[in-house]
Amino acid sequence: MKKRKMMFCCLFLLIAMLSTAAVNNVSATKVFISYGTTQYLTDMGGSGELSVSGDVSSYIKNLFDSAGYTNFFDFWGTRDQQTQPNTVYNYAEWATRFRDTTVILYKGHSLPVTCPISCGNDHYGVYDCEGYNITGGETIKDYEIYNKIYDEGYGSHDFVFLWTCGAGDPSRLGSTSGSHGWGMCASWMGINNAATSLSDDGYDDPDGNDRCFIGFDYLSIWYTNSTNYSNWNYGHFIYYFYMHALQQYWTINMALDAASELTHGDDVLYEDTPLYGGYSIWDPRETPPVSVDSAMHVWGDGNLTIR
């Protein structure tokens, strides 16, 4: 919910009481934006992950189209506006100014970035379209996103899902101070002390604040990884998640459960999956690769509806 809108709530109610005009036609404006990098080197997902990531992005965009969103943008990779730093910054600003609800999906990789003012906090970025260490390639930085939404009053980004490494760890959620933000969750959503402001288990203990962030504690699982049930993989999981989250009256939690049952087996709820309980995954950055533990992390309000 936009804070600016809430400030006008009392005035709006007063006008509504004084007027017999129906307000039923007032509808919220909603935007969905899908971003993603195209850099999947052999040891970082590879061509199969690249292909599935692109497909899933376009399928999910179509779900938001069918659900009647005001805008639904597939900016994955090189499509349309492209996943470039300025695209992300400018659309964060635009969405905050002009849209009541903003839903973001990013698929790719994270990395630490340097603070321009040496604030002493940890900053993070995500890969742009071309990826890391490519000529002309740049990183999408947390504080740059916050700069843009801060100027607009922030608060329209109600659901941000970063399918990337580490953004869901409590130490990486970040915070804000004045016009400066650090950590992807705090910066994109404009939340001070995000790890304590949001419920740290939005699935089991939703905080009722109508805002939700999903990330991974450490390494995100690949879309192409099998769920070990039938022929399903985690690309199917996220597709079915959005499909159900966009059903009328369905919550994030109900959609997580539905996607879990479809891709992990009958009567398997989200809390029964390795996403919630934790999984082991090879860290490709090590030579030889080592097995590390990670999990998906739902922050805030799993009872949020995005339809």
To Zn ion, the closest distance from the beta carbon of 188 in angstroms equals 15
114 binds Zn ion (CB under 5 A): no
To Zn ion, the closest distance from the beta carbon of 120 in angstroms equals 7
Give the interface segment with Zn ion, choosing from 4-12, 27-35, 118-126, 290-298 (CB under 5 A).
118-126
CA–CA gap between residue 218 and residue 304 (Å, rounded): 24
Binder among 115, 254, 268, 269 for Zn ion (CB under 5 A): 115
The mark string for 67-106 relative to Zn ion (x by CB under 5 A, - otherwise) is: ----------------------------------------
Give the interface segment with Zn ion, choosing from 108-116, 129-137, 184-192, 230-238 (CB under 5 A).
108-116
Give the interface segment with Zn ion, choosing from 76-84, 145-153, 161-169, 176-184 (CB under 5 A).
176-184
Judged by CB, which is closer to Zn ion: 13, or 119?
Answer: 119
How many residues line the site for Zn ion (CB under 5 A)?
A: 3
To Zn ion, the closest distance from the beta carbon of 177 in angstroms equals 8
179 binds Zn ion (CB under 5 A): no
* Residue 110 near residue 124, CB atoms below 8 Å: yes
Judged by CB, which is closer to Zn ion: 26, or 117?
Answer: 117
Residue type, 54: G
119 binds Zn ion (CB under 5 A): yes
Give the interface segment with Zn ion, choosing from 73-81, 115-123, 212-220, 238-246 (CB under 5 A).
115-123
Write out the residues near Zn ion by the rule CB under 5 A: 115, 119, 182
